[in-house]
Amino acid sequence: MRVTVIGVGTRHGGDAAGLAVVTALEARALPRSVALVRCERPLPDLLEALAGADAAIVVDAARSDHAARGARRVAPAELADVATTSSHGFGVARALALAEALGRAPARVELVAIEGEGDADVEAAARIVVELLASLTAAEG
């Protein structure tokens, strides 16, 4: 199974968290079938990154009314309540919807949101991604 882990964000402040997770994952031993990608823009970068994978894990900085900050998995249905930090309103939710409409979306898409910009938040998100990768591999087996 080809899995693409996509860190979304720009290089400034808390918005860089998704990119920092990719950097953290680069230091870990991951299966060869896992690709790590950095995306600065949901459109077109995320749309491109989603194409060709069997599954994708999208990691992005976010803000919401959720009581607990830090890193957590987000269901696609929750995206409406989570404002990802992106420019011009074309965020992760719309890029995923567009990929779906164009038939470019992988069969399975997992979302990890990070509310916070500390090293601990990035590490926590990286751990969630590693657990997701393990479950995806197990499901395949």
Partner 1 sequence: MAEPPGTRSARRIIRVGAIARVEGEGALHLVVESGRVTDLRLEIYEPPRFFEAFARGRRADELPDLMARICGICPVAYQMSAVHALESAWGVPVHPGVRALRRLYYAGEWIESHLLHMTFLAAPDFLGLDDGIEIARIHRAEVERALALRKIGNRILILLGGRSVNPVGVRIGGFHRLPTGAELQALADDLRRARGEALALLRWFASLPVPSRPQDVELVALRHPQEYPMNEGRVVSSQGLDVAADAFEDVFEETQVEHSTALRCRLRARGRYLVGPLARVSLNADRLSPAAAAAREELAHRFERPDPASSVFARGIEVVQAIDAALEAIVRFEPPSPRDASPPVSPRAAVGRAATEAPRGTLFVAVETDAEGIVQRLRIVPPTSQNQGQIEEDLRALAPSVLGLSDDRARRACEAAIRDYDPCISCATHFLTLTVERRPPRCA
Residues at the interface with partner 1 (CB under 8 A): 10, 12, 40-41, 43-45, 47-48, 87-90, 94, 97-98, 101-103
Q: Which is nearer to partner 1, 43 or 130 (CB)?
A: 43
Q: Which is nearer to partner 1, 94 or 127 (CB)?
A: 94
Least distance between partner 1 and beta carbon 87 (Å): 4
DSSP sequence for 86-102? -GGG--HHHHHHHHHHT
Least distance between partner 1 and beta carbon 44 (Å): 5
Least distance between partner 1 and beta carbon 26 (Å): 19
Query: What is the crossing angle of helices 17-26 and 119-140, to 10°?
Result: 60
What helix, strand, coil percent values describe the chain, rounded to 5? 45, 25, 30
